[in-house]
Structure 1
Amino acid sequence: MAEELQRMGASVVVLASSFTGSARAIFENKGIRVEVGEDLEASIFDFDYVWVHSQLLPLSFVEQLGTVSREHVPDGKRLPAFIFNHMSALDASPDEHPYIPLLEETIASAEVFVSQEARDALNKDYDTEANQGIPQRIVPNPAPSIYAQSSKVGTHPRVPQRIAIISNHVPPELFDAAEMLGSADVHVDIIGEQGVVQEVTPALIAQYDGVITIGKTVQYCMMSSTPVFVYDRFGGFGYLNDENFDACAYANFSGRGGARKNGEGIAKDVIDDFQQACSYSDAMHGVWRETYGMEHVLEDLFESVEPRTSITFPYPGYEHTLRMQMRFAWRYYRSWDFELWMRAQKQHLEDELHRVKEVVAERDKAIDSLQAEMQALRGDLGNVREELAKSAEQLQQVYDSHSYRIGNALMAPLSIIKKRRR
């Protein structure tokens, strides 16, 4: 989103509780300004829009909003439009809920949701009366317009030859399907933690005839007219079509609400339904570019959202309460990031330990094999020694025999004559 806004001509600054790993590299490579911490040395009046994830605001903004609440908006100044974004309907993602009481009800210019499912689930968390009149919109995880530049419209093969499974949580049935597709001469790559970890870009999507995935990658495929098979850990719907599209979109293309299938069924559908999926994605490409193209979605949203002319905190002392809640939230996210980092480090060490154990096991196996060969050689050497000893004993018996001594004496004159002739 930051990249698309910059491309559209906006000046963008991102405030984050932490800034590490692959995400940092991506932001820095795209030239996006990122500030780290729980505060931002800036005036709220410097911004036209403040896009809020996880209800996080800079602490200085809380103080400035408190001043506005007490003294109103200064002459000649204009509040920014505060847009609060919610990316999940799941209770397992409490950070996506409006968990700070009355915050959005007090300052939001708009509340946006990744899907109708999220809107339905999260509306119960608001103060109904206080939240009346605040515009709510579905912003369906739109994809940057650059994905449409690699459109496959009209260029699909007759049968799929290359398929990508893009997921960080591939269920067993998809591994089974990948094996069966491979047996049917369909090349399958797994992009994610159980395969190859890499950024999903237009160039990556362009390499494949179809993609098996859920979530944001579905929108990437829709924008590029890549047939997308919606299936993952929650089950799914198969390729997008007229019959399942609304149900898929309702739950943010997560697969929730769909059915579970076995690997054989998935592999069969991936091949058998491919041509129909190509026709559908081509026919819908123009519509999807409008409804799921980030530039169109953001322009429409920003044009319709108006900043508040005033802000009034709901009760005396709310500013202090909000500051404490916000400080706690920032530190929680920073700790959560550290926990995720530690978990990743632990997983990395466990993977390395597993790899070392495999190397040691192979070495031990090789040592055991060499020891067995040496033992066999020792046995063979013992047998040879026994045979040599037996042969030496037999030879000695020949030397010691009466017949050998007589024969040797008889042959001695002949040996002397032979030497003289030489």
Structure 2
Amino acid sequence: MKILFAINQLSEFVGGSLVPVEVAEYLHGMGHDCTIAANHVDEPLAPLVARQGIVVTDEIPALNAFDFDLVWLQNHTAPLLRYEPVDGSRERTLFVFAHLSGLTFHENPGLVFEPLLADVTIANSENLKRHLTQLDVPPDGIVVYPNPAPAGFWRIDPAAEPAQTPTTVQLISNHAPPEIIDALALCSQRGIDTAHIGQAGTYVRVTPEMLGADGAVVSVGKSVQYAVARGIPPYVYDRWGGPGYLTVENFERAASANFSGRCCFRKIDAQQIAEEIVEGFPAACRFLAGLPPGLLRRYRMEPYIEQLLSRIDSAPPNAARLETLIQKAPWLRRERFMALGIRDNFRGHKAGNAKIRQMRRETRKLKRRLQPG
């Protein structure tokens, strides 16, 4: 099958890009022909994806949606595609609209294309599902896709007696607040190995091998599911605060907000964070080891994707979709103009940031050359 992912950016290691990338990697591994099209394509993420044989392009408007069996859409990219019946077009295309947040315009539902085309709407949490239904997205069409982890992350070993303190504490964050950075330093002073994976630390894609045993992970969002899959207790805290280690009392509430910390907005200081990370570690290990298999299955990625594939044959015929699109043509043109403006503005924003970074590098080089001696 041919599968298309249309997103806003394929450059940074962020959830909005990594979610479709993980799905594309799985489908590509099954032998499907996958394309990821983004408004902005750049290092470091895009080359990693392209080297796997997945097609990467920044020319979304050149693509015809009806050439694909499944189209996964994010960030108001649906209006950028063409919808034309030509030789080689599919009789049916399943349209999946994925929403990974409700905080920004980019992540909220589209105005015309999405209501007309959506066969499946994805929300990454129960809270987001409620938000989408308040915007008149039909609840029956919403699938909660809780940032599940790919098979490579799963390693649930038989429960062993946990260590009294973590041997390592890994912070995974692109936007860690000061209290977390300070807490990491306090853990280090106790003789615990610490590391920061993210834009202010070591900026790499998180892999299963990075998440070692006998340690704790401090993070929110996708990395929490990664940690759960590896059997490593996650301490849920970031710029929104958070509940800390997962417990019987807070697990479902934290999950309903996609482990973002927005389940409680609890903000504490560095000293308390460090104490909770160290002192609460054994109990957090025991809680994680005791999670039932049925609950853990919720966070395995592959069953969700298999369910999507099974729905392709029941998608509406593209001929019928085209008739509906033609009836709404003036409204669709309006939304396309808006999507093109969003695309141009975002690409300009990225180009401007790149130019600023280049000028800063050149300024630093010039200062070094002008220094005496």
Corresponding residue for residue 145 of structure 2: 139
The answer as to 2:90 corresponding to 1:83 is: no
Amino acid at match of 1:21: E
SS of the residue corresponding to residue 206 of structure 1 reads coil
More helix per residue: 1 or 2?
1
Corresponding residue for residue 371 of structure 1: none
The correspondence for 2:135, drawn from 125, 145, 148, is: 125
The answer as to 2:32 corresponding to 1:30 is: no
SS of the residue corresponding to residue 284 of structure 1 reads coil
CA contact (8 A) 2:65 2:71 kept: no
Amino acid at match of 2:117: I
Amino acid at match of 1:87: L
Corresponding residue for residue 6 of structure 2: none
Deviation at 1:121, TM superposition (A): 1.8
User: CA distance change for structure 1 residues 329 and 343 in 2, over 3 Å: closer, same or farther?
Assistant: same
Amino acid at match of 1:32: I
CA contact (8 A) 2:78 2:113 kept: no
Deviation at 1:178, TM superposition (A): 1.1
Runs of 4+ in 1 over 6 A off after TM superposition: 312-316, 354-357
SS of the residue corresponding to residue 60 of structure 2 reads coil
CA–CA distance in structure 1, aligned partners of residues 188 and 144 of structure 2: 39
The correspondence for 2:229, drawn from 208, 223, 226, is: 223
CA contact (8 A) 2:112 2:331 kept: no
The correspondence for 2:220, drawn from 214, 237, 253, is: 214
Of structures 1 and 2, the larger Rg is shown by 1
Q: Give the superposed CA RMSD.
A: 3.1
Corresponding residue for residue 332 of structure 1: 342
- Identity across matched positions, percent: 26
Extract unaligned runs of 5+ from structure 1.
Answer: 68-73, 368-422
Deviation at 1:28, TM superposition (A): 1.6
The answer as to 2:268 corresponding to 1:261 is: yes
TM-score scaled to structure 1, two decimals? 0.73
CA–CA distance in structure 2, aligned partners of residues 154 and 352 of structure 1: 54
- 1:193-204 matches, within 5 Å, as 193-204=199-210
TM-score scaled to structure 2, two decimals? 0.81
SS of the residue corresponding to residue 211 of structure 1 reads strand
The answer as to 2:344 corresponding to 1:303 is: no
SS of the residue corresponding to residue 238 of structure 1 reads strand
CA–CA distance in structure 1, aligned partners of residues 267 and 44 of structure 2: 33
User: CA distance change for structure 1 residues 55 and 208 in 2, over 3 Å: closer, same or farther?
Assistant: farther
SS of the residue corresponding to residue 249 of structure 1 reads helix
The correspondence for 1:18, drawn from 36, 40, 48, is: 40
Corresponding residue for residue 293 of structure 2: 286
Deviates more, 1:154-163 or 1:134-143: 154-163
Extract unaligned runs of 5+ from structure 2.
Answer: 1-22
More strand per residue: 1 or 2?
2
Corresponding residue for residue 272 of structure 1: 279
The answer as to 2:82 corresponding to 1:54 is: no
Corresponding residue for residue 235 of structure 1: 241
Amino acid at match of 1:297: Y
The correspondence for 1:39, drawn from 55, 61, 73, is: 61
Corresponding residue for residue 187 of structure 1: 193
- 1:156-195 matches, within 5 Å, as 156-195=162-201
CA contact (8 A) 1:223 1:285 kept: no
User: CA distance change for structure 1 residues 197 and 317 in 2, over 3 Å: closer, same or farther?
Assistant: same
Amino acid at match of 2:316: R
Corresponding residue for residue 109 of structure 2: 98
- 1:2-13 matches, within 5 Å, as 2-13=24-35
Amino acid at match of 1:262: D
CA–CA distance in structure 2, aligned partners of residues 123 and 312 of structure 1: 26
